[in-house]
């Protein structure tokens, strides 16, 4: 009998057996209440830390028991289950352990967990365990580094929890000197009901071995993972959704999607150019006054046409943050003509548009640029001199009026100020311009762009909420690859190698081993590094947009290789049911706002969610929308009738939902095929304790270069 058939047979038999167990429901009317919360037992290792990070990111409630703490709760029957209003309650819908038995031989706690999982059909993930018979596997065919291995989702994985992946699961190999991942490859043990979901070829050998698989035994289900990982590594990021989906059986508080949006700043304006001799940008504040000759970079009509066609071909609209005054200045200097603006206006429906102020001035403190770095000018009494409310308001409204005359489709509540100015910028301006909030209110601005590398959390500024944006390391002052590489070398090489040496004492950047080649360095190094960083954000359920500048779409069009690499890599890794989600700025802001409210309510213990049979009930504080993922076909019960829940993504439906009219909670009905569940069977023997598992430096400490940088 094949594993799939055996699993189905066991599930059906176990259902009948579980109905006769003490504490198990004898009829649908007596079905237990299963609380929608995950129990995470940790020993401090990186694998369970990665799972809790994923639960945090999805907004899924969980309880942690730290085995290292002497005063931790004892895991026994009373800790795991009780009774609510006469109905048996399982307090956790799933269990995540560091390995298949972290408690030791003959542990009463492991016995209690085993009994609990059998009685209430609770799945368990073994976050990182040895391949051994107790985990349903033979002794390993391979033990060692998995760096660079190309694992594969099996047919069972595609039809099961990893159906959102196209097939490949490449393991990172970022540094030849760092051991980044360690694991075991093994085949199922003879007679074991083990179904491999992700496997890999045996390095230097023959055959394949499991890395992630389901082991059904003694009326229990374990997801057995035999490699170590941390929350940042791509192999985990690819599999994280499926691990959580398997744990929750697709009935989950919380949700996850893969987001990517790109803002292009300074459209219609011109950006100053990096000077490869002076190692600064003439015309900008990093060059001493009078040093060098400005040589601005501005897109051409052909560049605009290329951008429109690229967006059509990729089915990926770009968000154009524009300065209408840049076009008017060009017209003044060129006989009233601006072919670039004409081209963009003709293609206006191929892009989304964001107000970036009329002339792109600095809207924080009044800058004193007589020295490098600049400082804030002072009033006579020594206080900081700020740009006025009238100046800020005029920049917003004048640009909005220009867009209306040009017929640009604009969401008037969105704004990105030049250089995110007006918001605090350290060290020169530690506070927001106090005139910014009132100017935003004058113009009805509700969403304000901010720099994620400086101000990651969404926060209130006057009437507006910020939308943090990831800066991409494709520099605003580079239109040619040689300029980009030269500046990159200046920032990321040691003084001994001709660089600035900034990287030598930086907490967020590392130095290059040697300067990049001006001809090949961009394509060979910068493109793969920057696209990997951006893809990491995409895979992290992070809706924050990325931003580049119009100069990067001009001349050598250096942005496209990075953006194309992100989209190509994503397309190769994911199935069609998990497309990249490209939200406009206001929608990103709304998503972040809803998440903040939900996470705050979950952290405060003010969210209650549980399942009884085919019914899921969730109660949250008034005004807080519920974040959930359910099987396809789930519906929301209203006072009169039902309404569809969520939208399809990665084989499930997910989204935000609020109580209906005259309701104080959300009630969802699951499809009938899901309601029966997948319950366990008879009492299991307690597995033998696992030995201490090897953890490479890379899994415990290595974080790929993903810090936001300018």
Q: Label each residue of 291-353 as H, E or C.
A: CCCCCCECCCHHHHHHHHHHHHHHCCCCEEEECHHHHHHHHHHCCCCCHHHHHHHHCHHHCEE
- Asked if 182 contacts 696 with a C-beta cutoff of 8 angstroms, the reply is yes
Buried b (16+ CB within 10 A) or exposed e, 594-619: bbebbbebbeeeebebbbbbbebbbb
Q: How would you write 48-87 as a 3-class SS string? A: HHHHHHHHHHHCCCEEEEECCCCCCCCCCHHHHEEEECCE
Q: pLDDT at position 16, please?
A: 32
Please state whether 462 falls in left (phi above 0), alpha (psi between -120 and 50) or beta. Answer: left
State the Cα angle at 152 between 148 and 153, rounded to 5°: 145
Residue 63 phi/psi, 5-degree rounding, is -120, 135
- What is the distance between the alpha carbons of residues 223 and 96, in angstroms, rounded to a whole number? 9
pLDDT mean for each 10 residues of the chain (710 residues): 40 36 47 98 97 98 97 97 97 98 93 98 98 97 96 98 98 91 97 98 92 98 98 98 98 98 98 98 95 97 98 98 98 98 98 98 97 96 98 98 97 98 97 98 98 97 98 98 98 97 91 97 98 98 98 98 98 98 98 98 98 97 98 97 97 98 97 55 41 65 35
Please report how many Cα atoms fall inside a 13 Å half-sphere around the Cα of residue 535, on the Cβ side.
25
Residue 201 phi/psi, 5-degree rounding, is -65, 145
Q: CA-CA-CA-CA torsion for 367, 453, 261, 345, nearest 10 degrees?
A: 10
- What is the distance between the alpha carbons of residues 559 and 306, in angstroms, rounded to a whole number? 12
Q: pLDDT at position 675, please?
A: 53
Q: pLDDT at position 694, please?
A: 80
Q: CA-CA-CA-CA torsion for 328, 330, 335, 336, nearest 10 degrees?
A: -30
Select from 44, 23, 181, 26 the least CA-distant residue to 99: 44
Which three-class secondary structure state does DSSP give residue 128? coil
Q: pLDDT at position 697, please?
A: 62
Residue 653 phi/psi, 5-degree rounding, is -110, 140
Q: How far is CA 53 from CA 56, 66, 234, in A?
A: 5, 15, 14
- What is the distance between the alpha carbons of residues 348 and 540, in angstroms, rounded to a whole number? 31
List the structure tokens of 569: 């890599």
- What is the distance between the alpha carbons of residues 121 and 116, in angstroms, rounded to a whole number? 8
pTM of the shown model: 0.91
Specify the DSSP element, H or E, that contains 529: helix 527-539
Task: Name the one residue in this structure whose structure tokens are 């290292």.
Answer: 68
List the structure tokens of 57: 């990111």
Q: CA-CA-CA-CA torsion for 430, 319, 648, 252, nearest 10 degrees?
A: -10
Strand partners of residue 84: 87
Max alpha carbon distance in the chain (Å)? 88
Strand partners of residue 642: 637
- What is the distance between the alpha carbons of residues 91 and 82, in angstroms, rounded to a whole number? 8
Q: Helix axis angle, 46-58 relative to 234-248, nearest 10°? A: 70
- What is the distance between the alpha carbons of residues 479 and 421, in angstroms, rounded to a whole number? 23
Dihedral sign (CA 116, 122, 127, 132) = positive
Dihedral sign (CA 523, 524, 526, 528) = positive
Strand partners of residue 201: 208
Strand partners of residue 701: none
- What is the distance between the alpha carbons of residues 114 and 216, in angstroms, rounded to a whole number? 12
List the structure tokens of 86: 């006469």
- What is the distance between the alpha carbons of residues 205 and 182, in angstroms, rounded to a whole number? 17
List the structure tokens of 666: 């959300």
Task: Name the one residue in this structure whose structure tokens are 């006057």.
Answer: 462
Contacts of 107 (CB under 8 A, 6+ apart): 101, 686, 689
> How many residues are given for the chain?
710
Q: pLDDT at position 691, please?
A: 53
Number of separate helices (H) and strands (E) present in the chain: 18, 33
The CB density around residue 31, as the number of other CB atoms within 10 Å, is 19
Residue 471 phi/psi, 5-degree rounding, is -75, 135
Q: pLDDT at position 439, please?
A: 98
309 Cα distance to chain centroid: 28
Q: How far is CA 190 from CA 1, 132, 471, in A?
A: 13, 11, 52
Q: pLDDT at position 672, please?
A: 80
- Asked if 304 contacts 340 with a C-beta cutoff of 8 angstroms, the reply is yes
């Amino acid at each position: 009998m094949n594993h799939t058939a055996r699993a189905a047979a066991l599930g059906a038999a176990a259902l009948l057996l579980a109905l006769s167990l003490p504490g198990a429901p004898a009829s649908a009317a007596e079905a237990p209440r299963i609380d929608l919360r995950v129990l995470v037992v940790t020993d401090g290792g990186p694998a369970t830390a990665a799972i809790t990070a994923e639960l945090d990111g999805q907004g899924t409630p969980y309880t942690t028991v730290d085995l290292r703490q002497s005063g931790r709760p004892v895991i026994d029957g009373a800790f795991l289950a009780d009774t609510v209003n006469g109905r048996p309650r399982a307090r956790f819908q799933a269990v995540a352990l560091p390995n298949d038995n972290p408690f030791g031989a003959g542990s009463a706690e492991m016995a209690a967990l085993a009994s609990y999982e059998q009685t209430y059909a609770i799945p368990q993930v073994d976050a990182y365990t040895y391949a051994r018979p107790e985990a349903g596997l033979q002794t390993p065919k391979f033990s060692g580094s998995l760096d660079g291995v190309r694992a594969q989702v099996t047919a069972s994985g595609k039809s099961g929890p990893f159906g959102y992946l196209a097939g490949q699961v490449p393991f990172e190999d970022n540094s030849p000197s760092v051991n980044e991942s360690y694991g075991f490859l093994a085949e199922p043990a003879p007679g074991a009901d083990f179904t491999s979901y992700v496997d890999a070829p045996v390095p230097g050998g023959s055959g394949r071995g499991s890395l992630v698989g389901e082991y059904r035994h003694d009326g229990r289900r374990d997801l057995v993972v035999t490699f170590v990982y941390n929350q940042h590594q791509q192999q985990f990021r690819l599999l994280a959704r499926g691990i959580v989906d398997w744990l929750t059986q697709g009935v989950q508080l919380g949700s996850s999607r893969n987001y990517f949006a790109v803002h292009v700043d300074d459209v219609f304006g011109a950006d100053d150019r990096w000077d490869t001799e002076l190692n600064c940008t003439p015309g900008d504040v990093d060059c001493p006054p009078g040093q060098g000759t400005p040589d601005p970079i501005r897109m051409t009509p052909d560049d605009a046409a290329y951008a429109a066609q690229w967006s059509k071909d990729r089915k990926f609209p770009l968000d154009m943050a524009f300065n209408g005054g840049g076009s008017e200045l060009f017209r003044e200097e060129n006989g009233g003509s601006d072919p670039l603006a004409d081209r963009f206006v003709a293609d206006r429906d191929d892009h989304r548009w964001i107000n970036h102020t009329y002339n792109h001035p600095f809207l924080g403190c009044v800058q004193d640029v007589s020295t490098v770095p600049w400082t804030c000018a002072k009033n006579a009494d020594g206080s900081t001199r700020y740009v006025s409310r009238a100046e800020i308001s005029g920049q917003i409204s004048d640009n909005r009026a220009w867009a209306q005359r040009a017929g640009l489709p604009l969401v008037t509540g969105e704004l990105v100020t030049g250089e995110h100015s007006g918001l605090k910028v350290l060290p020169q301006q530690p506070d927001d311009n106090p005139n910014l909030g009132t100017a935003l209110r004058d113009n009805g601005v509700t969403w304000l762009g901010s720099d994620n590398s400086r101000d990651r959390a969404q926060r209130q500024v006057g009437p507006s909420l910020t939308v943090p944006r990831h800066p991409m390391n494709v520099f605003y002052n580079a239109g040619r690859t040689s300029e980009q590489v030269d500046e990159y070398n200046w920032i990321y090489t040691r003084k001994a190698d001709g660089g600035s040496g900034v990287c030598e004492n930086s907490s967020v950047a590392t130095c290059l081993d040697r300067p990049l080649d001006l001809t090949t360095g961009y394509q060979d190094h910068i493109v793969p590094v920057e696209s990997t960083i951006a893809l990491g954000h995409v895979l992290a359920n992070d809706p924050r947009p990325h931003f580049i500048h119009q100069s990067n779409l001009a001349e050598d069009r250096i942005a496209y290789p990075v953006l194309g690499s992100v989209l190509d890599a994503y397309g190769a890794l994911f199935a069609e049911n998990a497309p990249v989600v490209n939200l406009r700025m206001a929608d990103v802001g709304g998503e972040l706002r809803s998440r903040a409210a939900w996470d705050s309510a979950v952290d405060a213990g003010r969210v209650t969610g549980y399942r009884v049979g085919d019914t899921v009930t969730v109660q949250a504080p008034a005004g807080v929308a519920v974040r959930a993922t359910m099987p396809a076909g789930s519906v929301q019960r209203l006072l009169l009738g039902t309404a569809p829940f969520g939208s399809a993504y990665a084989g499930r439906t997910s989204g935000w939902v609020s109580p209906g009219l005259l309701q104080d909670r959300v009630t969802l009905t699951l499809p009938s095929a899901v309601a029966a569940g997948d319950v366990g069977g008879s009492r299991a023997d307690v597995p033998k304790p696992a030995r201490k598992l090897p953890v490479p430096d890379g899994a415990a400490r290595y974080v790929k270069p993903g810090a936001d940088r300018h």
